[in-house]
Structure 1
Amino acid sequence: MPSPMDLAALSGAQGAAERHQAFEKAFPVRSLADVLDQPVDIADPIFEISKPMHGRRISTRELGLLTFVRNLNRAVFLSIDPQAQVNVKSWTKSGTDGAPQGGGVMTVMRGPVLEKAAVNMSVVWGPSYPSIEKEYSGQPYLAAGVSLICHPYNPNAPIAHMNIRVLKVGAGDDYLFWMGGGGDLTPMVRFQEDTDSFHASFRAACEAHPLGDYPKFKQWCDEYFFIPHRGETRGVGGIFFDYLKVSGETDLGLLLNTAQVFAHQYAEILQRRVTTPFTDELKEQHLYWRGRYAEFNLVHDRGTRFGLMSGGNIEAIFASLPPVVKW
């Protein structure tokens, strides 16, 4: 993670080229091998929360990848809004027999630039998988992932969402290992430059990995983030993939590619838009427009339903909702 000096240089950079150079210095792209080989911080609350499953259903290397992505996005958001107040809270869950079933760490930031940003990480497990599709339901499972959402104050700056996750279902050593993830952009005021750069970066990230399939993942995203009762898509899309079989550690590179590309692209977009002037009228429209986002997350999002069905932390599940919204 960058030093305070790096963050100061980033927030103080004025021109687009200067900001980009400062950002690249503060957040260099890391290789999968580098991230997997880094030592896990045993003082991190998520380490203790997930400890019963270490070496059984989640390796310390997998845990290290997820914590790297979480810490990267925490730092990126703080670089955009250094004045944001940060609230970090841990949570745990137990089964009916009192046995631990994991938990998570949620980070919520509120500031003058990023009105609300949340970066959540969880590692949960249980004896009965609450599959929404009913397939594999009732089998032991472990689900681990990082999800984030950002609601900027400025109506010209888009909402963005990113998620990466791993899922293991089955008894003993005979379990299925899947991964999923993606990132998407939801602007009220659409700038073609932002849409084009966002999609071009995800295309490059997919092309750099054998499991990447940008055309398929883009279509999947458009179909997933569709609001049926409104007859419209949520934003300008991005990529979305789910239930991709993991055959080895190198497959996890797709998750790292997705997370790093998202962090870099969204930071550049925010740097372009958070200072754009806007009127009171546009801000009022912004509050009503945010309602579309809330509607999708509450009614249609599978992640929300999975969290509720698996006994997840309510505060963490609903952290994705806008801070202020009107209908």
Structure 2
Amino acid sequence: MTAAMMEQEKSTAAAWFRSLRDQIVAAFEALEDSHSRGPLAEAAPGRFEVSETRRAAPDGADAGGGLMSVMRNGRVFEKVGVNISTVYGTLGERAQAAMAARKGIPGMAEDPRFWASGISLVAHMQNPHVPAVHMNTRMFWTPHAWWFGGGSDLNPCIEYDEDTAHFHAQQKAHLDPHGPGHYPRLKNWADDYFYIPHRGRARGVGGIFMDDHCSGDWAADFALTQDIGRAFLPAYLPLVEKRRSQPWSAADKDTQLVHRGLYAEYNLVYDRGTKFGLETGHDANAVLMSLPPMAKWV
């Protein structure tokens, strides 16, 4: 692949992550507008606050950035962030070592340049019956390799089997055109990845996840990544619409806050994206956007 072709593919991926962000922001604000009955229906509809983020390069050079879009205290969403970023530069020694160890990439010490672009979403809901959710997709490049990653997983504090079934069915429907083996493989990967060892449990009811994905066919890998992103809204919006007007009790809210503690523990202790973002100097507020506005530990 020529350098010009690779630059075009980077640009194509970054533009698509931006378009997915725009679709999701519009859909979530539409949910706020249409919430007309049940808890908080009389409140003002929430809106995203959008701010630019920048990666801080050690030498002060341009290192890219992105958009942080966060909605707080809406009718439906207590806090939701939909961030995109495109960052680049050189990896520090710790990040180089992590890449070499995890991905087996040679030559990082000699040429530690990198480029990364993606979308990251986390939603924490007002109604405890509406599940929290996470989604991201990304592309990473070095002079030695490129790969895609991402997925989405559902994190209800009050579980409904039919909601879990719907979420997984949509993931499967979007992955099956790429081959029947993708969904079971990515489902099992999510089950392993979103596990909290010190609690001995998963943080939610799973979903799909992949990392370090490079088949050698960029177009096929990008198409798979796009369908991981496209699966999100049809998998999640019907669950929000079904549960957002459901009455809740003080005990339900307490259950939600305790469950959010699990989410915070996972993201701060185990999540690779959190570690990478902080180690490479990206805006800390954008990296930690995933944390809930309130949580509780017993």
Counterpart residue identity of residue 207, structure 1 = D
Residues 167-214 of structure 1 deviation map (CA, whole Å, 9 limit, x = unaligned) = 0012xxxx3120011000011111111111111111111111249611
Equivalent residue number for residue 291 of structure 1: 261
Equivalent residue number for residue 75 of structure 2: 112
Equivalent residue number for residue 126 of structure 2: 153
**Contact 2:154–2:207 (CA under 8 A) maintained in structure 1:** yes
- How many angstroms does 1:312 deviate by? 0.9
**Contact 1:54–1:60 (CA under 8 A) maintained in structure 2:** no
Equivalent residue number for residue 100 of structure 2: 134
- How many angstroms does 1:153 deviate by? 0.7
Residues 134-179 of structure 1 deviation map (CA, whole Å, 9 limit, x = unaligned) = 3445421111100101001111000100000000012xxxx31200
Q: Does 1:270 pair with 2:236?
A: no
SS in 2 for 1:81: helix
Q: How big is the alpha-carbon RMSD for the aligned residues of Structure 1 and Structure 2? A: 2.0
Residues 76-111 of structure 1 deviation map (CA, whole Å, 9 limit, x = unaligned) = 211111311321010122433321011111000121
Equivalent residue number for residue 27 of structure 2: 76
Q: Which protein has greater RCO, CA pairs closer than 8 Å, 6+ apart? A: 2
Equivalent residue number for residue 311 of structure 1: 281
SS in 1 for 2:258: helix
**Contact 2:170–2:234 (CA under 8 A) maintained in structure 1:** no
SS in 1 for 2:236: helix
Residues 103-145 of structure 1 deviation map (CA, whole Å, 9 limit, x = unaligned) = 1110001212100110000111122262535344542111110
Question: How does the TM-score come out when normalised to structure 2?
Answer: 0.86
Alignment partner for residue 89 of structure 1, among 35, 47, 51? 51
Counterpart residue identity of residue 314, structure 1 = A
Equivalent residue number for residue 192 of structure 2: 223
Distance in 2, Cα, partners of 1:184 & 1:99:
36
Distance in 1, Cα, partners of 2:201 & 2:66:
33
Query: How many pairs align?
Result: 271
Provide the identity percentage.
38
- How many angstroms does 1:55 deviate by? 7.1
Residues 209-264 of structure 1 deviation map (CA, whole Å, 9 limit, x = unaligned) = 24961111111100000111110001100000011115232421112211111112
Counterpart residue identity of residue 90, structure 1 = E
Alignment partner for residue 85 of structure 2, among 122, 130, 134? 122
Structure 2: gaps spanning 5 or more residues: 34-44
Q: 1:302 to 1:160 in 2, by over 3 A?
A: same
Q: Does 1:198 pair with 2:167?
A: yes
**Contact 2:124–2:292 (CA under 8 A) maintained in structure 1:** yes
Distance in 2, Cα, partners of 1:107 & 1:297:
19
Structure 1: gaps spanning 5 or more residues: 1-52
**Contact 2:168–2:235 (CA under 8 A) maintained in structure 1:** no
SS in 1 for 2:178: coil
SS in 2 for 1:235: coil
Q: 1:187 to 1:242 in 2, by over 3 A?
A: same
